[in-house]
Chain A
Amino acid sequence: MIVLRNVSKVFDPHITALDDVTLSIPQGDFIFLVGHNGAGKTTLLSLLVRADQATSGVVLIGGQDLALLKGSEIPLLRRRFGIVFQDLKLFPSKTVAENVELAMQVQGCTGKRARSRAAEALALVGLEHRATFLPGNISGGERRKAAIARAIVHQPEIFIADEPTASLSPEVSWEITSLLMQINQLGITTIVSTHDRDVVDGFSRRVVALDGGRIVRDVQVGKFQENFSNATA
């Protein structure tokens, strides 16, 4: 369970990225996080992985207050997450398989076991035929899949994807989002930050809309659709 209680984040000089945000995400839930650029989506995600700290309020992951974590506990928290970054951040000099294996090595798992788990993750996203390719030598959609495989290889509790369908064709966007649904069905809490209205409309899931650092909508997609245009216009 992820809980944000009256969370605010203010950057100097007086830029309010999040303003009194209260949000609960039960284990295994799937949410779309939508909003304009600068609405606070990325800040919210960075608070969850303790890349940043809230100015006020409480962030709880599984009942653990992130503000009370010691420095040495932060890596352990982050290992509970799988993250797909907006710019993917794949290591260009490592092959697709090596990129995925790296996530296992970070967890302390090396050798055959890491290779085997990486192969399984690549098979899950349908990318086993690109295992030996460098990220620069595969398509944009395949790079997304590689990043997803890297994020799920260690079977995280929480999966975060920041704009996973940006700059992709509708067909590939649909394929990627379907993959995210599939990951969620494994019991992994899934948070997807997106601008893509078609994706949000196409999947009947919970949608949390941010605007000016505040939550302006928190509804199931059916109820959300009618207001989505206004929220992202």
Chain B
Amino acid sequence: MAALSYTATLFTSAVVNAWRHRTMSVITVLIVSLMMTTLGMFLVIENELSLMVASVGKRVNLIIYLEDDAPPTDVLALREELLADSRVNTVEYITKEEALERLRTYLEDDPDLLQPLLDNPLQASLEVRSDDPDYLLTQVDYLAAKRIVEDVDLPQDLVENLLQVIQIVRFLGFALGGGLGLVALFVIGSAIRLTVYARRGEIEVLRLMGASDHFIRLPFLLEGIFFGLVGALVSFVLVGASYIWVHELLQQTLSFFPVSLDATYILRLFLTLTLFGIAIGSLGSYLSVRRFLTI
């Protein structure tokens, strides 16, 4: 109970101090909000792009064309082997006749094109569906080397480009997140340094009164956390509103992508920004206080 009261006293002291230096506090919170809003926006864009990429990835099939003399037992064994991997959703066996039927359906406006065919030239195949285009890419050479496989078809360019987009998006996410995190650290650290400087007389008095290191340092740490937290909440409001707006825009302009509004993502976004704000706030003030407050 005493510890709770002590913490409450210190937190109140931190909030009151932030209020007393409100111009500086407002500037700090605004800058932190700006940083975190930019970061949050990027997270939203990254999420939407990832969903779109995943959506495209789901439509990419790997087609294994089988030798005409492939024994059914071997084909069945290959199908079982593919299905044993959890990354594979379905493996559909397409017979030669089904392949020709599909072609006929595809060319129903020009049936004459199929007239010269004396025999069915198409091959039986296995169509592999997976949500993981990266996995499909790694299977091409392995499958092509099998005796019963004549050829393997995967729109590699598309898959590779998609994977590249995901990698670039993630790299930018990390780079931007890291860079903005450093900027936020610096801003919060500077604000705390100024507060420490402005309160150096009070700190001296507290030292002579016998205040412990924790007693002197903790309000500054809490003040940093307070800045980070308020910055995170402001940015969440902005980013959350933008998320809904961006989402609606994507639905209107790119309606062929089945991306639905995800309430759990908004919750995750809230938690991410809040924890990031608290982490940045505490780390920024900790580094600043440790360096500039020699007790």
Instruction: Give the B-binding residues of A (Cβ under 8 A).
Output: 49, 51, 75-81, 83, 85, 89, 91, 93, 102-103, 105-108, 110-111
Contacts and interface: CB of A to CB of B under 8 A. Distances in A.
24 contacts: A49-B208, A75-B211, A75-B212, A76-B210, A78-B207, A78-B208, A78-B209, A78-B210, A79-B210, A80-B210, A83-B208, A83-B209, A85-B208, A89-B201, A89-B205, A91-B205, A93-B20, A102-B206, A102-B209, A103-B209, A106-B206, A106-B215, A107-B210, A110-B5
Contact of A110 (B2, B204, B208, B209): B2
Interface of B: 2, 5-6, 9, 20, 201-202, 204-213, 215
A106 B211 contact: yes
Contacts of B2: 108, 110-111
A150 B148 CA distance: 92
Given A89-B201, A106-B215, A51 B5 contact: no
A93 B205 CA distance: 14
Nearest to A76: B210
Best-surrounded residue of B2, B6, B209, B212 (most CB of chain A within 10 A): B209
B215 A105 contact: yes
Contacts of A107: 210
A100 B259 CA distance: 61
Main DSSP-derived SS at the B contact region: helix
Contacts of B213: 75
A110 B6 CA distance: 6
Given A85-B208, A110-B6, A111-B2, 15 more contacts: A49-B208, A51-B208, A78-B209, A78-B210, A79-B209, A79-B210, A80-B210, A89-B204, A91-B205, A102-B206, A106-B209, A106-B210, A106-B215, A108-B6, A110-B9
Contacts of B206: 102, 106
Ordered nearest first, which 3 A-B pairs have the shortest CB separation?
A78-B210, A79-B210, A111-B5
Contacts of A102: 206, 209
A106 to B, nearest CB: 5
A157 to B, nearest CB: 12
B210 A75 contact: yes
Contacts of B209: 78-79, 83, 102-103, 106
Contacts of A105: 6, 9, 215
Nearest to B205: A89
Given A76-B210, A106-B210, A106-B215, A91 B202 contact: yes
Contacts of A79: 209-210
A83 B208 CA distance: 8
Contacts of B205: 85, 89, 91
